[in-house]
Amino acid sequence: MTSDSGASTSNTSNTSNTSTRSARLHPLQAPKGVSEYFPDRSQTFEYVRETLIESAKLSGYRLIELPVFEDTELFKRGVGESTDVVSKEMYTFEDRGGRSITLRPEGTAGVMRAVIEHNLDRGQLPVKVWYSGAFFRAERPQAGRYRQFYQVGIESIGLADPEIDVEVIAVADRAFKALGLKNFTLEITSLGDRESRNRYTLELRKYISTLDLDDETARRAEINPLRLFDDKREEIKSLMSGAPILLEYLNENSAREFERVQSLLTKLGIAFSVNNRMVRGLDYYTGTAFEFVHHGLGAQSGIGGGGRYDGLMAQLGGSDLSGIGFGIGVDRCVLACEAEGILLPDSYLLDLFLVPISVQAKGLALIVAEDLRKEGLRVDLAYGDRSLKGGMKAADKSGARFSLVLGDDELASDLASLKNMKTGESISIKISTLHENIAQFFQMKTGDR
């Protein structure tokens, strides 16, 4: 009986082990509405992001790195409680200390908080900074609209000057053109100064009081009547089509500054149209406002926009200084580049792919690769025990501009063939002086990379 019992236990154990081995965990997926980038598409993302950043650097903007989450009060005060961003779209939670924390839905409020906290406004003005990273809004996901999305933004804080307004617009325009984008347009308007806005708001409220609105819309209009222009529902769009136009209520100073902005844009050769119904989705905007629209993206056509926000710093507890900035959607720009068939430049691909096909060649290839990487070249190699056919297949998939095969025959003859992967042309190169020869060759071919 003991023997039978032991056999029974052994069989049960084997069955359990087999069951455990055969069971597989369900694979996990990213949360819905999150934009992810992985090779090869991540190269396009990187190229777009770095091109946007470089345009900001060319105009003297410097990096500011911000927290991904902030006190919820910052966005309530800075962005505006009447906005959809604050009222519907923020990811807000309570941390272990009982504090209300929000994942950043936009960048300007955080920049202003940092400028105030670290007294950046007490130095040379304007304070000119750029930032990039992920932002979060609880929206209904669709093409070009994500719950986690990426932006590059700039802010110029401290001076109210039409020339600065134009510089900010020019940074974005230059970035889009540097990407090779063509199918986009710029729309601008002026939301006026405090005096102009107050005068206009009185008339707008009178108009809205005649409309038959649902309770929620009426509440939003009471907080900020301009929000109704940003409502996407067709019935609200129809009702607001007869509303007074803000541009007709600009005082002399606001009108003069807006004319100056238009004149300077024309002189810079930046084409634009005036959109007298434009309102930005955040409450802090005043004066110059703008949006870049790409015509190949369908409903989510805005690729970047911004404007002036006089009074925001004071609203957040700082000095009453002016500011202007923009946020450009990296995701939307990637889609725009893809829509226009824009190809990556060679500088974002590998320069050289090494194909070693012997044990001795593998060691040499690794040494050569590291030496060339120190020279600033982008080099990869075929790892593992690959055949010549498998190695060249890997070289082709890598996107490298050149490949170099290293095997026993090449080592014995001290000659290897450097192949242009696009044209198929090859040149012989000495292995004993491989590092020096290839470094010189790429310097000649690439110039000042």
Residue 439, pLDDT score: 72
Give how far Cα 203 sits from Cα of 194, 248, 392, 430, Å: 15, 11, 72, 81
Can you tell me the mean pLDDT for 279-283? 63
Nearest to 104 by CA among 85, 121, 118, 119: 85
Whether the pLDDT of residue 7 is over 90: the answer is no
Q: Which has the minimum average pLDDT: 72-81, 204-213, 278-287?
A: 278-287
Say which DSSP state 431 is in.
S
pLDDT in tens, 362-387: 999 999 899 889 888 999 999 998 89
Residue 17, pLDDT score: 55
Residue 282, pLDDT score: 59
Enumerate the domain spans of the chain: 41-193+251-339, 346-446
Can you tell me the mean pLDDT for 266-281? 88
Can you tell me the mean pLDDT for 408-416? 92
Can you tell me the mean pLDDT for 197-219? 89
Can you tell me the mean pLDDT for 250-262? 96
Cα 256 to chain centroid distance, Å, stands at 34
- Contact criterion met (CB below 8 Å) for 111 and 131: yes
CATH superfamily of 41-193+251-339: Bira Bifunctional Protein; Domain 2 (3.30.930.10)
State the pLDDT confidence band at 261, using cuts at 50, 70 and 90: very high
Residue 445, pLDDT score: 61
Whether the pLDDT of residue 444 is over 70: the answer is no
- Contact criterion met (CB below 8 Å) for 363 and 369: no
Whether the pLDDT of residue 150 is over 50: the answer is yes
Q: Give me the percent of the chain exceeding a pLDDT of 70.
A: 92
User: How far is 96 from 62, CA to CA, in rounded Å?
Assistant: 34
Q: Which has the minimum average pLDDT: 195-199, 258-262, 410-414?
A: 195-199
Beta-strand runs (E) in 301-358: 302-308, 323-329, 352-356
Residue 230, pLDDT score: 77
Whether the pLDDT of residue 308 is over 70: the answer is yes
State the pLDDT confidence band at 276, using cuts at 50, 70 and 90: confident
What residues have CB less than 8 Å from 131, skipping those under 6 apart?
63, 64, 65, 66, 107, 111, 152, 153, 154
Q: At what angle do helices 162-179 and 252-267 cross, to 10 degrees?
A: 30
Task: Retrieve residue 195's tokens.
Answer: 């005096």
Identify the residue with better confidence: 242 or 100: 100
Whether the pLDDT of residue 323 is over 60: the answer is yes
Can you tell me the mean pLDDT for 91-104? 96
Residue 300, pLDDT score: 83
Can you tell me the mean pLDDT for 41-57? 96
pLDDT in tens, 225-248: 887 887 778 898 899 988 999 999
Residue 448, pLDDT score: 41
Can you tell me the mean pLDDT for 125-147? 93
* Residue 183 identity: N
Can you tell me the mean pLDDT for 24-52? 92
Nearest to 273 by CA among 186, 192, 190, 191: 186
Say what the pTM is: 0.86
Which CATH code is given to the segment(s) 346-446? 3.40.50.800
pLDDT in tens, 328-350: 999 999 999 999 999 888 778 89
Residue 139, pLDDT score: 85
User: How far is 356 from 406, CA to CA, in rounded Å?
Assistant: 5
User: How far is 390 from 403, CA to CA, in rounded Å?
Assistant: 13
Q: How far apart, in Å, do the first and last CA atoms of the chain sit? A: 82
Whether the pLDDT of residue 102 is over 80: the answer is yes
Long-range (24+ apart) CB contacts under 8 A made by 424-430 are 429/404
